[in-house]
């Protein structure tokens, strides 16, 4: 077995003409009620904004999908979540969202790393999904 097939590492960023506080709040909104998939179909999530809080898709009547747990939250600079995210199979994931001030506003970056039996379709589409997510925050904040 090739160990490279067990690892996923995505590193992306976007420049946003807004303060770090505005970007961080925009990120939190996009991770919850304003979340959409890459085709812009609504996909509302819930994010409990404290260490140990859940990030999950609530489908109603006690059904849904746990994406992860808040590992670190330090507004307006850092949010880390660990868990399987959209992967419903043996995988351990971690994502870090960082907001850094720049001369023209802020830089929102994400690093998503996974170890596990990664589905090939997820491997192909994860960068597209995160790119959509970052640009959605940018569009909302500018």
Check: CB of residue 27 under 8 Å from CB of residue 13: no
87: left (phi over 0), alpha (psi -120 to 50) or beta: beta
Mean pLDDT of 22-37: 94
CA dihedral 122, 95, 128, 85 (to 10 degrees): 40
Q: Is this model's pTM higher than 0.85 or not?
A: yes
Mean pLDDT of 72-95: 95
55: left (phi over 0), alpha (psi -120 to 50) or beta: beta
- pLDDT in the model for residue 2: 72
Mean pLDDT of 52-59: 94
């Amino acid at each position: 077995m090739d160990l490279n097939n067990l690892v996923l590492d995505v590193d992306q960023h976007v420049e946003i003409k807004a303060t770090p506080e505005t970007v961080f709040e925009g990120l939190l909104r996009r991770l919850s009620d304003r979340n959409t998939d890459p085709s812009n179909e609504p996909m509302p999530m819930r994010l409990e904004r404290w260490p140990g809080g859940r990030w999950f898709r609530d489908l109603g009547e006690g059904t849904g999908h746990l994406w992860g747990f808040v590992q670190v939250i330090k507004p307006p600079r850092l949010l880390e979540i660990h868990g399987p995210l959209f992967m419903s199979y043996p995988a351990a994931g971690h994502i870090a969202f960082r907001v850094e001030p720049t001369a023209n506003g802020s830089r929102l970056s994400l690093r998503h790393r996974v170890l596990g039996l990664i589905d090939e379709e997820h491997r192909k589409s994860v960068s597209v999904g995160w790119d959509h997510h970052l640009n959605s925050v940018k569009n909302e904040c500018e």
